A and B are shown apart, each in its own frame.
Chain A
Amino acid sequence: EAGVAQSPRYKIIEKRQSVAFWCNPISGHATLYWYQQILGQGPKLLIQFQNNGVVDDSQLPKDRFSAERLKGVDSTLKIQPAKLEDSAVYLCASSETSGRATDTQYFGPGTRLTVL
């Protein structure tokens, strides 16, 4: 079974530029998550999708971050404009069913973003 795919793996940009990350979850998984992992911290949930609807985006900085999950499969996360403090690893995860916390989440390898 293929895992969660993410691209690119690494990205370096200057502040005020825009950037986009892509995630392809495990086939058939209904729930998709985007996490931000700043160096030295644990992952923090940015947004959770159930199929193509948003379940939780309470910690997404909506003035600069946006995400979409078209057709309930792939997802993109965009930052525009980027700030220095956005430097982090962005993790995508998926789970099979309802998105309850008891479901096992499967994580991709992440995209490491450096903002200069």
Chain B
Amino acid sequence: AQSVTQLDSQVPVFEEAPVELRCNYSSSVSVYLFWYVQYPNQGLQLLLKYLSGSTLVKGINGFEAEFNKSQTSFHLRKPSVHISDTAEYFCAVSRNTDKLIFGTGTRLQVFP
């Protein structure tokens, strides 16, 4: 069975600084990988997903993630964050017809 580990529960960062949110997965077969964002009092919104092909995936709001099969990682990055990026970020994994398995989330707090 697959699982997801988000190593950091909270990541504080100043505005305009770069940020990386870490995600590792475990699975014995090929998987699909996702990052979702949850703004306060809102539902989850898809940021980006890796299904196949290029290992560098670009998403909305300037975020990108890189799939690294050898390290079983799918870290999320943004070169310069804004106050509005303050939110909870969830990494998720799935196989083709299986349900999404979410990590425990990383709270990104951007300070002015």
Decide: A43 and B49 in contact? CB cutoff 8 A: no
Inter-chain CA distance A83–B103, complex, in Å, is: 24
**Contact size class for A?**
20 to 34
Name the prevailing secondary structure of the A interface residues: loop
For residue A44, CB closer than 8 A to chain B, the reply is: yes
Query: In chain A between 20 and 54, which residues have their CB closer than 8 angstroms to a CB of chain B?
Result: 40-45, 48
Name the prevailing secondary structure of the B interface residues: loop
Decide: B96 and A42 in contact? CB cutoff 8 A: no
Decide: A101 and B98 in contact? CB cutoff 8 A: yes
Q: Given A4-B43, A107-B44, A109-B41, A42 and B90 touching (CB < 8 A)?
A: yes
User: Chain A residues in contact with chain B, CB under 8 A?
Assistant: 3-4, 40-45, 48, 56, 91, 93, 100-102, 104-110
Give the 10 A-B residue pairs with the shortest CB-CB distance, closest first. A42-B102, A107-B43, A101-B94, A107-B44, A45-B99, A108-B43, A109-B43, A43-B102, A104-B46, A42-B103
Q: Given A43-B44, A91-B44, A102 and B104 touching (CB < 8 A)?
A: no
Cβ–Cβ < 8 Å partners of B87 in chain A: none
For residue B57, CB closer than 8 A to chain A, the reply is: no
Q: How far is the CB of B93 from chain A (nearest CB, A)?
A: 9
Cβ–Cβ < 8 Å partners of B98 in chain A: 101
Cβ–Cβ < 8 Å partners of B95 in chain A: 101
Q: How far is the CB of B50 from chain A (nearest CB, A)?
A: 10
